[in-house]
Chain A
Amino acid sequence: MVKLNKIKTGQKAKICGFECKDTEMRSCIFGIECNQEITCIARSGAIVIRKNSQEIAIGENLSNKIYIQVI
């Protein structure tokens, strides 16, 4: 299990957990929740992930509080 800010471009991963409730709630609103599969489509300044066909940018402050399992 690693933090989301370590994911590489093109890698697929599953969300495993969150470091704090605030991050979890904020992520939940965007549909980023435990067991959700995501793909990293860009790493430039922020991490950009694709979830289903939605693309979401997550800054460093938040991506280092989200745990993932690389698939």
Chain B
Amino acid sequence: METEEKREESGCNKQSKTKKIVLAGNPNVGKSLFFKAFTGKYIDVSNFPGSTVEIHEFKVGDRKIIDTPGVYALSNFNDEEKVAGEYILKSDGIINIVNATSLDRDLFFTLQMLDLGLNVVIALNLFDEAKKQNIEIDIKKLQECLNVPIIKTSAIKNEGFEEVKRETEKVLENSPKTCRKTLIKKLEDEIKNKEEVYTERRKRVNEIVKTIVKRKPKPTEKLGEMLLNPFWGGVFAMVVLISLYFVLGVLISGNIVDFLENGLLNKYYVGFVDKMVNEYIKYGVIKSFLTGEFGLLTMPIVYIFGILTPLIAGFYVFMSILEDSGYLPRLAVIVDKTLSKVGLNGRAVIPLILGFGCVTMAVISTRILGSKRERTIASAMLGLVVPCSAQFGIIVGMISNTGGLLGWFVYIGVLFTILVIIGTVLNKLLPGQPKGLMIDIPPMRMPDIKNVARKTYNKTKHFITEAFPIFVFGCVLVNALKITGILAKITEILKPLVTGFLHLPAEFSQIFLMVILRRDFAAAGMLQLTASNSLSFAQTMTGLVVITLFVPCLMAVMVLFKERGWKEASFIWVGSWVIAFTVGEILTRVLELFV
């Protein structure tokens, strides 16, 4: 009977030579480490529950290993579940990676795959972690309940992989594949009767866990609870976020980037390339194209290796430590209520804080948000309002020079108001509903340094590979605009807007154009004007607010196009013009009237 069910007439008899092995499981269980063990490739790590929607595949002989997004079940609840479901239903065999410390959560998905009739091997991962937490699991009993191979693994210590491979091969050879159409029909039927099916399945999971798991109190329980306390949790969260800002925004963005960009790359690499180009190239236009301000041979190297790589590596070190320690979900809990008022949930705290270090980096980090809707809202806030450290340091100096607290009140008040308005409006206008927060809070644990280093290295490498072509394209575009004189024409067009609308000196038209290319250039340009005492208080504050609200820098725009698509990125870019000039106009009138 089973054989008949598995070999239907509907065209499923054709068996492909390449067998698809899918890695499936809840978020944050270690699927990517299994991917590495099976393929030798360390691609991307699910860094926060529900973070990855990308699929990674790699062929090893006649086996294709597929890493899917972490999901709690297969349904049509979100993008991750839809994507994972597509690949799981097409698989020849599934390695279901289950977290041994949270069987009552993870086994739900396991039972669903078994109920559908998929060929499953269970890797009971984090087994060493379970031991540390005084959790005892009767594997023999579990095997009797589920009737599939179950192997104890510790992916971080490379333990158990060979046995998983052996058992998977046995399953591929001995268990025929259920026809995909049958699987789709079964899943559709299940979704139609979701309530009944899920309730029954939950009962079965509870019964199994009751039988096979014995627990004693966790050693880090008290620490974990303290970090969730409204007061102490809030204090610790402030310490973490301020540290994150200082490490990325001040230490790395300031000192390390300054050393790499100016002390090393500009001095030696750019100097060398300049010399070579001057020696061998005669035509000024080509020289400018290759080694000018946006030179093809210089700008991508300096920007990517001098500026972005240290920021990204620093970010991933921090993120990996927060992830591995189990702190990240606790931070999301503390800020969840506040962020839910603007259509986000607690997870969005990381990209928003990072925006103050580097908006480019922060836009990339919106990948950790669970839905497209949330990523859009967070990206819009970052692109439209948040000043990056490149300009923030200079802005701080200029506001301080205005004397008194009024400057701070105006600057922070305006930005905060715009941030809340954008979040609220997008929350109302975007289709869909905010996805409320519901996450597992893992126990606190000491981060594994090797794992942190490995995650950081691989993610940084992945970023550089993706970003390089984007920057090359950016250089070509800007140079083309310069050479054709279009850039100069745009400056002239902006002048009436600047003087008539914003009541700012004509020099600001060039400053605004510089914002498009690099924000610290713009801030530095404005610094020269304020130093000459030629600006009134109203003009200073209007200028500062407008350069903050104005378009994201070229790097951030390119990453926005990559992450959000051209429609959303264009909306943010055009929106920043409208918001910046409208707010500037209102602010200048108000300040001229009252100050």
Contacts and interface: CB of A to CB of B under 8 A. Distances in A.
Contacts of A24: 195
Residue among A42, A51, A62 with max Cβ neighbours from chain B (10 Å): A42
Contacts of A1: none
Given A42-B333, A45-B336, A46-B346, A54 B199 contact: no
Contacts of A58: 436-438
Which size class do B's interface residues fall under?
35 or more
Contact of A29 (B198, B233, B436): B198
Interface string A35-57: 00000011111101001111111
Given A29-B198, A59-B437, A46 B224 contact: no
Nearest to B232: A44
A41 B226 CA distance: 10
Interface residues of A, number: 31
A69 interface: no
Given A30-B105, A62-B437, A57 B202 contact: no
B198 A41 contact: no
Contacts of A22: 77
Contact of B438 (A41, A44, A45, A62): A62
Interface in B102-120: 102, 104-105, 108-109
A14 to B, nearest CB: 15
A44 B440 contact: no
Contacts of A61: 340, 345, 433-437
B105 A31 contact: yes
B436 A53 contact: no
B445 to A, nearest CB: 14
Contact of B224 (A29, A31, A55, A62): A55
Nearest to A27: B438
A31 B233 contact: no
A44 B108 contact: no
A57 B436 contact: no
B293 interface: no
B228 A42 contact: yes
A1 to B, nearest CB: 20
19 contacts: A25-B194, A26-B77, A29-B72, A29-B109, A42-B225, A42-B228, A46-B346, A48-B228, A48-B333, A48-B441, A55-B441, A56-B439, A56-B441, A57-B333, A57-B346, A57-B437, A57-B438, A59-B345, A60-B340
Interface of B: 72-73, 75, 77, 102, 104-105, 108-109, 194-195, 198-199, 202, 205-206, 209, 215, 218, 224-225, 228-230, 233-234, 329, 332-338, 340, 345-346, 433-441
